[in-house]
Each structure stands twice: as structure tokens, then as C-alpha cells.
Amino acid sequence: MTTPSITVTYLFDPLCGWCYAAAPALNYLQGVEGIEVALAPTGLFAGAGARPMDAQFAAYAWANDQRIQQLTGQPFTQVYRDHILGAANGRFDSGPATLALTAVSQTAPERELDALHALQHARYVEGRDNADPAVIADVLCSLGLQAAAAVLQNPMMPCARPCWSAWRPPAPPCSCWVPKACRNWRLRG
């Protein structure tokens, strides 16, 4: 491939429905020769931006999701509505998904857009809580991104790359598998 002449920096939050609506456009841009799509997850709904998923917010989100679906065709399923928006004690927190995408960018940058789409599909179509690190790790492992899943489980690891040489395929399904070389890692200081 030739050197990209245009870089499109995509600022987004992994839990933003409108950002999910942009998935077809991102796929298109990624396939255009001379264009590079650089992902920049912002964590808008992380930390102080995170909130409980109460009935009022769930109704607000579902109304927006229905509008997004009508305008773009991106699906928001009933299982998403029931399991994510309707979950008792649920959280609207993009911190774990933002961290996961950052881990993918460090361990397998060519797969970052795949990971974003898989996390969005897990949430909006399959009704899986991608604010839950265990769900995120499972999604990453299903894509063959075990090194990123390891970083997600232990974000204090200096980098997952040294651990990659110790990686052996786990028995499916992968549930937060951490390479043996990383299990005893401790922060020094």
C-alpha cells in the first residue's frame, strides 16, 4: 500500500450511539487508497462522565438509538434494550472499552477498527455489556487479540508485546487469559 496522503483522525466514544452509526463510513474510508483512519477514543463517558443506567437515562438513550437506527440503518436490538438499558444497577461507563481500544492500538494497531466494531456489535446487537471488562476481554479474545485482553486485565503491565512471545492459544472460550510471563509482573518503584 502507498503512504497515505490523508489521515482522518476519528475522535469518538465507544459507547456513543452516533459513533456506532458512523461504522459504515469508517469501513468505507479505511478501504480508500491514500486514506488512513486514525482512531482516537476519547473516554467521554468515562471517569466523571460515567453514570448509572437509570430508567430516565435508559429511555433517553433508547429514543436516541431509535432515531439513529431510522436515519442510518444501524441496528439497536431489543436484547440490547433489555440487557443493557434495562439492567438493574447497570453503568454507562466507557472507561473499560476506551482502555481496551488503547490496548489494541498498542498490541495490534492494524486491528483497532475491527475491535471497535466488535465491541459496538456486542453491545448494540448482542446485548452484551461492553462496560464490563470480562465481556470486553472475551470480545478481544474472540478476535485473536489476547495480548490486548491481557493489557486490559492488567493495565499496569509495561506493554503486552514482551508477553506475546509467551502466548499459547487458550481453550475457548477465552476468559480473561493472561500470559504466564505476565502473571507475576509487579509495578516497581
DSSP per-residue codes, 72-131? H-----HHHIIIIIT-TT-EE--HHHHHHHHHHHHH-GGGHHHHHHHHHHHHHTT---TT
Task: Assign 88 a pLDDT band (cuts: 50, 70, 90).
Answer: confident
Q: What is the pLDDT of residue 4?
A: 66
Distance of alpha carbon 151 from alpha carbon 178, whole angstroms: 8
pLDDT of residue 171: 37
Residue 139: how many CB atoms within 10 A of its CB? 24
Between these two residues, 160 and 25, which has the higher pLDDT value? 25
Query: Distance of alpha carbon 55 from its chain centroid, rounded?
Result: 24
**Which residues have CB under 8 Å from 166's CB, separation 6+?**
179, 180, 181, 182
Q: State the burial class of residue 120 (Cβ atoms within 10 Å of its Cβ: 0-12, 13-18, 19+).
A: buried
The string of pLDDT tens digits covering residues 132-147 is 999 999 999 999 999 9
In this prediction, residue 186 carries a pLDDT of 31
Task: Indicate the pairing of strand 91-92 with strand 51-52.
Answer: antiparallel
Rounded to an integer, the average pLDDT of 102-125 is 96
pLDDT per residue as tens digits for the range 48-87: 999 999 999 999 999 999 999 999 999 999 999 999 999 9
Query: Is the pLDDT reported for residue 168 higher than 60?
Result: no
**pLDDT tens per residue across span 99-110:** 999 999 999 999
Burial of 37 (0-12, 13-18, 19+ CB in 10 A): buried
